[in-house]
Amino acid sequence: MRTGVWLVGARGSVATTSIVGALALRAGLTGPTGCVTELSELRGPAWPSFADLVFGGHDVAATPLAKRAEALADAGVVPARLVAALGEELAAVDDDVRPAPVGGTQADRAAAVVADLAAFRGRHGLDRVVVVNVSATEPAARPHPAHADPDALAAALAAGEEVLPPSSLYAYAAFTAGCPYVDFTPSTGARLPALAALAARHAVPYAGHDGKTGETLLKSVLAPMFAMRHLAVRSWSGTNLLGGGDGATLAQPDANAAKVASKQRVLGEILGYVPQGDTRIDYVEELGDFKTAWDLITFAGFLGTGMRLEFTWHGCDSALAAPLVLDLARITAAAHAAGRHGPLTDLAFFFKDPLGPAGSGPDAGATADRAPGHALGEQWARLAAFAADLHAGAGTPPAGGAA
Ligand SMILES: NC(=O)c1ccc[n+]([C@@H]2O[C@H](COP(=O)([O-])OP(=O)(O)OC[C@H]3O[C@@H](n4cnc5c(N)ncnc54)[C@H](O)[C@@H]3O)[C@@H](O)[C@H]2O)c1
């Protein structure tokens, strides 16, 4: 199954690490550490192979991918020997990275994205193209009446209005082009009723939001432990220090607020109450792509005895995110091939702020009637069941076909 992976923000750290990783896997130069689709519980015939993935994308930046990869190697994010070995392959991917459309109306820019997706699919003879948003985090979208339904949205765009944030314009273009869409960022993306209805109309699946790779991943493991042991969490405070392009974006108050809101939902929903404390994100340029999270949790046990847990997480953000981007592209492609559409709520395992079921029943996925929850163990069980279902379908010969 030749599968296009169209990365919005294709020259960013997460995108570049994903591309280097996939090319290295294809060349047999590295192993799939961090890719959950290669675990025995999830592996199977429904996934496109790494060799089947073809990369392209949009970016507002023009730095060649090889240069971005060298910078990541200098920073210790990817091995320099891989970047040196993959120079030709990276240059070939560069040919499929298009400048993000600028100028004209939003309708013009959406049409340009649709045309780029169609040309990419045709050029490489792809069975499908999954659009993955790994672009810079945006501030929360300003509400607009055209967000409520696809016909109002189409009318607003036709009238030359600017009604969508960039992540939603890419989702709009993806759905219009018949492509599934994955949002790895906290931006609005497909989370507008008009876009949910548009995805249903085009029978495409979508997934999101905001990859779960660090502090929130730990929260989704530790908070269920406190809940299951009936321990009372009194406060949970976290400070995240990071540099890189993402850190610079998150230094801006509006983008920071969107990210913090996405990180905060986990505790309240797992514990059933919100303990005291906040999550902070601070930009420290020197740290580059390496993030430090310090969390202090105070909790009470039997007879009210006070106790505390502290942890420090030193993660390489792009090295944690990139294998998940590859996993999401493979799973979403398989879901599309199996005729799934609407929000892929069974992919909650990957996200800080997972999509819930769509309001309208018919566009929801097979198990979308249940809320996804935030506890990692439950999310894992749902993902494994979803994968098993897709693999069983992929192993079934088409009706009337040879056994
Ligand atoms: N790394 C992680 O662990 C992690 C986890 C969860 C979410 N994310 C999210 O992934 C996203 C990417 O992170 P990153 O570290 O690669 O950031 P980055 O700043 O290195 O890359 C973002 C890229 O998007 C491009 N861009 C900006 N506006 C664009 C537009 N309108 N159209 C096309 N491209 C555009 C930028 O030029 C840049 O190349 C961020 O939103 C981040 O919050 C990352």
Alpha helices in 313-375 (DSSP H): 317-337
d(CA 389, CA 255): 37
Closest ligand 1 atom number to CA of residue 245: 19
Residue 205: both structure tokens together:
């699946």
Distance of CA 9 from the midpoint of ligand 1 (Å) = 6
* Cα radius of gyration (the chain): 21
Distance of CA 182 from the midpoint of ligand 1 (Å) = 13
Quote the pLDDT of residue 262.
62
Q: Which residue has 């990869």 as its token pair?
A: 69
Q: How far lies 135's CA from each of 9, 102, 166, 186, in Å?
A: 4, 15, 9, 10
Quote the pLDDT of residue 403.
30
pTM confidence score: 0.94
Q: Read off the DSSP letter of residue 164.
A: S
Closest C-alpha to ligand 1, atom 33 = 59
In the chain (403 residues long), the average pLDDT of successive 10-residue segments reads 97 98 98 98 97 98 97 96 97 98 95 98 98 95 95 96 97 98 97 97 97 94 97 96 85 77 79 92 92 97 98 96 98 98 97 78 38 86 97 67 31
Quote the pLDDT of residue 369.
42
| 3-state SS string for 97-134 | EEECCCCCCHHHHHHHHHHHHHHHHHHHCCCEEEEEEC
Residue 102: both structure tokens together:
């600028």
Quote the pLDDT of residue 359.
47
**Contact predicate 120/126, CB 8 Å:** yes
Distance of CA 319 from the midpoint of ligand 1 (Å) = 14
Closest ligand 1 atom number to CA of residue 318: 1
d(CA 222, CA 209): 21
Which residue among 7, 8, 13, 14 is best mutated to probe the pocket of ligand 1, counting the most ligand atoms within 8 A of its Cβ? 14
Quote the pLDDT of residue 167.
98
Residue 257: both structure tokens together:
């607020």
Distance of CA 20 from the midpoint of ligand 1 (Å) = 16
**Contact predicate 284/243, CB 8 Å:** yes
